[in-house]
Amino acid sequence: MKRRGITLLLGLLPTPLLANTLELAATPSLSAYHSTAPLAASDQADYEGRGRVALGLTMSGHGCQAEWRGSATREGDEKHAEGRLNEAFCASAWQGLDLTLGKRRLAWGVGYGYRPLDLLQLDDRQQLAPNPSEGVPQASAEWFGLSDSLALIYSNALDWQQNRLASSPEAWSLRYFHGGEALDLMALLHHDAARDAVVGVGLAWVVDDAWAVHAELTRQQRYTRLDVPGLGALAAGEQVQTQERENGTKALIGGQWSSAEGWTLIGEYWWDESAPTHASWRHSLDLITLAQQAPQQLPAGSTSALADLTQALGTLNQAASLQPHNLFLRLAYDGERWDPALELLIHPEDGGLATTLRLGRELGSAQRLEFGWRHLDGPADALFANLAERDRLYLDWQTALGW
């Protein structure tokens, strides 16, 4: 396995070994926008540059690990700087259990483009430019057998300003994993205030040297979904609302083919019942377009609906699934010098397409250079074709120094 060089994760260290890593990354990017798109801001520019410089420090030893990352970002005329602890936890063994306390990454699942089982970490699997994820404050106890493990995890958000645990969101998760020679199985019981009870299962099956299959499924007691009525329904008094529903399903099935020459092809389909329907997106575009082009024709009472819709869209743009049905394809080559990859995210219901090209190269043992480009397109009524951002380019340079 090649060293990626951005973060050195040493895991749980039972010995008094100390290890430190200093990381530096620079990521300039350029975005092109549809300034007249229905979902664009009123003052949206056609092009916008963004630059980020990040500095990270990872320290591990005596069963503890901490990773701090600071960054300075400039986007247009705006400047922003921040620093945060991505991880800070300690681990110890007691009565046959591995105990962990602190802020730690808890990603889980077998999917590549989407992971229904990832209920705690909530990583953005469709992120374009590299950016290390932030861990979750947690306390856990895990038992390991020869081929099985069982973990009980309690997590809670931290109120850093008040230096105390926040009252929410808190969650309990019970995770089971079985690792076989060709078949891995996962099972999950989860509870939090937003979803109530959640049950989930997952599997990864290595069919032979070339083929593998994976799948995930969750069923949650409660979920919320944005529902946008049509213009006629708005005139009749219906409202834009994020409705709470019961018994929601999220599922993923995928396969992977690998060749001895280094080629890999991944195909996945996932269904997310909590994502807005195609009809809701169509109604949203109709309402926003009418408000921009002929506001005098808006139905009575639609002003408040438009404000509610604008607020809801601000949170949905970062969602893992923008529509219930999603198809993902990834073709990659693991070369000695260059690592190219092509990714396609397709919305089958409206024909929307997000195309991503990536090209990476190792520069020695501790440096990596990566280039990426994403283009959103589709028919005139497709969601991707109506989002503000049309293209994004980025260049990412990473280096690490360990001692």
Q: Indicate which CATH number applies to the domain containing 98.
A: 2.40.160.100
Q: What domain range includes position 164?
A: 18-402
Q: Quick check: is 13 in a domain?
A: no
pLDDT given at position 312 = 67
Q: Quick check: is 346 in a domain?
A: yes
Report the C-alpha gap between 33 and 392 in whole angstroms: 9
pTM: 0.86
Report the C-alpha gap between 199 and 217 in whole angstroms: 8
Domains: count for the chain: 1
Sign of the Cα torsion 308, 311, 314, 315 reads negative
Q: Quick check: is 76 in a domain?
A: yes
- Amino acid identity at 309: L
pLDDT in tens, 36-65: 566 665 555 667 788 888 888 898 888 899
Q: Quick check: is 215 in a domain?
A: yes
pLDDT in tens, 110-166: 999 999 999 998 888 888 887 788 899 999 999 999 999 999 999 986 544 444 444
pLDDT given at position 42 = 55
Report the C-alpha gap between 126 and 389 in whole angstroms: 15
Is-contact 7 132, C-beta < 8 A?
yes
pLDDT in tens, 343-370: 999 999 999 999 999 999 988 778 889 9
Biggest CA pair distance of the chain = 72
pLDDT given at position 132 = 83
Place of tokens 């260049």: 395
Q: Quick check: is 7 in a domain?
A: no
Instruction: Place 315 in a pLDDT band, splitting at 50, 70 and 90.
Output: low
Please spell the DSSP secondary structure of 253-312, one letter per residue: EEEEEE-TTSEEEEEEEEEETTSPPHHHHHHHHHHHHHHHH-GGGPPTTHHHHHHHHHHH
Residue 10 has pLDDT above 50, yes or no: no
Q: Quick check: is 12 in a domain?
A: no
pLDDT in tens, 250-273: 999 999 999 999 999 999 999 999
pLDDT given at position 161 = 42
Q: Quick check: is 3 in a domain?
A: no
Q: Quick check: is 10 in a domain?
A: no
pLDDT in tens, 73-107: 887 778 889 898 899 999 999 999 999 999 999 98
